[in-house]
Amino acid sequence: MPELRGSHGPAPHHLLTRWFGTSDLQRLEVYAGKPGGYKSLRKALLDMAPADITNEVKASGLRGRGGAGFATGTKWSFINRDAPGPKYVVVNADESEPGTSKDRYIMENSPHLLLEGIMIAAYAVGANQAWVYIRGEYDGPYRLLAEAIAEARAKGYLGPKPFGKDYPLDIQLYRGHGAYICGEETALLESLEGKRAQPRSRPPFPAVKGAWGRPTLLNNVETLATVPWIIANGGAAYAKFGTEKSPGTRLLSVSGNVRKPGVYEVELGQSFRHVIMELAGGLPEGRQLKVFWPGGSSAPVLTADMLDTHTDMESLAAAHSMGGSGGVIVMDDAHCVVRAAHRLLQFYAHESCGKCTPCRVGGNWAVRTYERLLAGEGSPVDLQILDRIQQGVANGKCLCGLGDSAGWVIQWTMARFPDEYEEHARNECSVEKVAAHA
């Protein structure tokens, strides 16, 4: 078990969500009260050099909470702050990963927390303009962020001289168009520029050539919302929580067959048994855990005997999975894994931007193959077809991670539930039986 350096107990330290639930926390007046909102921004602007801010984030060990888990401070340092011309901060709030709703939880509860983190990041990397690319379906969070931005402008926190510092800052909102592919950072940039949302070839990376060809920092909502705590308390204080290589806490959205679905803040290194069986209340009476996705639908599945896997990134990598977007999807033994995989492949095939041939063609082939298996018309040849498809789309075969996600659904459900796939291939699992398990 990884060594927890913070609580050492079952209850996580609430660094992000401590004040969530406070009445009217979305209002600047309340956020700036007892929670001490915008004190970190004041400290960053008036008492710290930009390089010192980046170094504190580096010292914290904070890793991106959007999927890849890249070191946040290192990512910030890639931006050449002294390069001539504009630089941008772009926030990925296009939370479209099945099973994930943690960023929405932050924006609904404390939009000013996100704004403060954005402004600190912008000052650190030399950007004066930030954009929040928000999922188009997020009407409530969009409204709350728009109101929070208006409040910050009226107070002078956004504008030509925040806290008297001669460093203009502004934040704009941009609503997405309902495309899952926009969660991929370069497709998001294409959409922000008014183009068709398709991934770019890299290099150059966004830190060198991002939005409108300018150096751009891209972080997701939870990552930036963590920054004010780090600046207020120090990177070393943050690094005391979690594990040595995965410091801090993160939000997990727990959904599916659990008694208490919701968003929970967990110190990294806690087990999924703690998350699912304790925080989320366990499974419905009479049901047994069959499978769970530890990091949204893109993360390779884990089985019931892997429930003691820990939430830090190294433990998940050792289990051949990942923390991803923090969406923990739980499925009990009343459900068919093959049917679940089919449903996810339908999603990935539909959301493919079509730029990559393996993703565009492979996803649709996979859907048709699953349809045969579920209709009782399959054969062992269909399992070979699925295996060929996953080999052709996963593990870096496509321009972005959507191909990996689709391929991993096939690869890891087949690897961890071979008997169930073989039953379908032999037509021993009737359509009626599958429908009863759905």
**pLDDT exceeds cutoff 70 at 4:** no
**pLDDT exceeds cutoff 50 at 92:** yes
The separation between the first and the last C-alpha atoms of the chain, rounded to the nearest angstrom, is 35
What length does the chain have?
438
Residue 176 and residue 266 in one domain: no
Residue 421 and residue 305 in one domain: no
Residue 195 and residue 220 in one domain: yes
- Distance, CA of 432 to CA of 216 (rounded, Å): 53
**pLDDT exceeds cutoff 60 at 285:** yes
- Render pLDDT for 327-357 as a digit per residue (tens, 0 to 9): 999 999 999 999 999 999 999 999 999 999 9
**pLDDT exceeds cutoff 60 at 418:** yes
The pLDDT score that the predictor gives to residue 67 is 77
Residue 58 and residue 190 in one domain: yes
How many structural domains are present in the chain?
Answer: 3
Asked if 188 contacts 206 with a C-beta cutoff of 8 angstroms, the reply is no
The pLDDT score that the predictor gives to residue 5 is 55
Of 297, 315, 332, which residue is a domain's last? 332
AA letter at 345: L
Of 275, 306, 332, which residue is a domain's last? 332
Question: What 3 state SS string does 313-343 have?
Answer: HHHHHHCCCCCCCCEEEEEECCCCHHHHHHH
Residue 353 and residue 316 in one domain: no
Residue 397 belongs to domain spanning: 337-437
- Distance, CA of 276 to CA of 254 (rounded, Å): 8
Question: What 3 state SS string does 187-239 have?
Answer: HHHHHHCCCCCCCCCCCCCCCCCCHHHCCEEEEEHHHHHHHHHHHHHCHHHHH
Within 8 A by CB and 6+ apart from 406, the residues are: 344, 345, 348, 349, 352, 359, 362, 363, 366, 393, 394
**pLDDT exceeds cutoff 50 at 12:** no
Residue 358 and residue 319 in one domain: no
Strands 289-293 and 302-303: antiparallel
The pLDDT score that the predictor gives to residue 2 is 62
Residue 315 and residue 391 in one domain: no
**pLDDT exceeds cutoff 80 at 428:** no
Compute the C-alpha angle 280/179/65, nearest 5°.
Answer: 45
The pLDDT score that the predictor gives to residue 69 is 83
Q: Which two tokens stand for residue 75?
A: 């990512």
Asked whether residue 379 is domain-assigned, the answer is: yes
Residue 35 and residue 134 in one domain: yes
CATH code of the domain covering residue 277: 3.10.20.600
Of 310, 332, 354, which residue is a domain's last? 332
Residue 111 and residue 174 in one domain: yes
When pLDDT is averaged across residues 290-317 and rounded to a whole number, the result is 96
Residue 277 and residue 191 in one domain: no
Asked whether residue 11 is domain-assigned, the answer is: no
Residue 352 and residue 215 in one domain: no
Residue 275 and residue 342 in one domain: no
| pLDDT tier at 8, thresholds 50, 70, 90 | very low
Asked whether residue 1 is domain-assigned, the answer is: no
Asked whether residue 244 is domain-assigned, the answer is: no
CATH code of the domain covering residue 214: 3.40.50.11540
The pLDDT score that the predictor gives to residue 281 is 98
The pLDDT score that the predictor gives to residue 264 is 97
Asked if 96 contacts 11 with a C-beta cutoff of 8 angstroms, the reply is no
| pLDDT tier at 430, thresholds 50, 70, 90 | very low
CATH code of the domain covering residue 386: 1.20.1440.230
Average pLDDT, the chain: 93
Asked whether residue 407 is domain-assigned, the answer is: yes
| pLDDT tier at 432, thresholds 50, 70, 90 | very low
- Distance, CA of 252 to CA of 374 (rounded, Å): 32
DSSP per position, 236-251: HHHHTSB-SSSBSEEE
**pLDDT exceeds cutoff 70 at 240:** yes
| pLDDT tier at 132, thresholds 50, 70, 90 | very high
**pLDDT exceeds cutoff 80 at 3:** no
Asked whether residue 10 is domain-assigned, the answer is: no
Say whether pTM exceeds 0.85. Answer: yes
